[in-house]
Chains A and B, each alone.
Chain A
């Protein structure tokens, strides 16, 4: 790379100002956390903090996609779910009923058939080299793909039905969860690679549409593949990488988990910080700010975009794994666009896209608001009902509690539009360096 030899002599900040804004915001956050501890008890609050830390990893993934590169990923939920399923499959105990039967061999056979079918179709697309006309080749390849797909899918349906009836589900590998987190990150990265490969050359709207779609597809797959994930029956408990609550009690075990997540976040933060200030980070920002001029300087825009997108997806996968392990439950129905896509989006744009510190602040602050809004909304709703009954003799609908929770959807939506309108750079904006 040409610019790796370039030493930025003038790239130091003009003057190191006192980070007053950061100190104030984090101080306020600290006071809030202490307040929550005082009000809700240590076990509950530590749980909240661990979840906030897992969300911070997701938010860091989104901040490099949206803040560093201006790509909008509307399907964070899908990548989170991939991380979750991977953490589940790696850490859950081995299912002997499955492994001692004929089923693994049959499943392997179907997978081999699938690989063979893919190779055949790929070979069919190369038929033009043998002198077959292009049109004939296309028709032949499509027909072959349809027939082979039908054969493989019928075989797969038989095997998965057998697995469900004989062994419940495939079970896990009984390995430490952190292996699952890493694999989940890799899995999310691979899916992100395919999506990015298709969409990143086009306008960013297409990426938003496609990621929204892939998230719903991943959820549909996990929900309906009972042989792999037990579907709606859910899998629990997932083991922790640290000593569990049974050994140390809730508060202490959660505190240890929290320190583990804090170490992970610190590691990610350090690496991202280095990357941001490296020539690579400058290049990424240059592409975001002026695509045409960076293309004119010979940067491979689509490749860099793909790198950033895959990197963000990997972080989301890891965060999803951490979250699933901590909840000790894998429930495909629990993945909701609101909780796992839009909440993360609010964290990023409120905290400051492109500013890692701001993103972490946003993640913790928004998660606390999110968790605390539930009792608050119920309280307000009760108040409104009491007032309505008193003043207008109004009969409240019976499901008022579930409706009060819907108010959170509203709040998140209002928050998104307000922040975009009045503070588009977030509370802690990305600090643009000025060069003298």
Chain B
């Protein structure tokens, strides 16, 4: 593996071990091989983006990393331990935020769900909820129900709930796929600054190549039928990233071209 442009200063000893590791992972579902022989190491603090044509198993790979699926052969490990079930220090941001939030709880109540499960005493919760909602830009919406919020706000709320778990790793499944372009760019920058502060490892699944390059330290492209790794590119773009200058950087354009050609070839 080539050197990685990490966005944070992480002690070099930490880089030796991987946080999330796939080792020869194959997954069959309903008699079909969805993922075949995938090996992948994600370092602590790394921001990994997974791209690929639709149906290539991006989401399935993320669910394997989350422990929601178990591999048919090979194994997935987290901090060296086998991932046999979901863990509280691994949070998942689902694409369909409208379905992943509890409609009968307010914004504050939805964040509280995560705090309840990590066992935070009741007295400490309100302050933590305020802090988290402020972090994701929803300070004045604590009493609102999800149905009273826009799509972008609902996705921020889901991110706040995930951050409440104080995760070591955040797994994001096309989190901005259903949002309009402006909202999406705003959230991309917010996610980058939030994660810079939390130093969590990220696996980010997207079908948007530019989004992947813009956010990631590294982009992995999957080939379809069955899903396997086709390309693994380090992204050596300077941080902090900027919606205008980063996207105009010649390196950005070169990477975009390379990934575009990869997707085109994989669909042929």
* Chain A partners chain B: no
- Chain B positions near chain A (C-beta within 8 angstroms): none
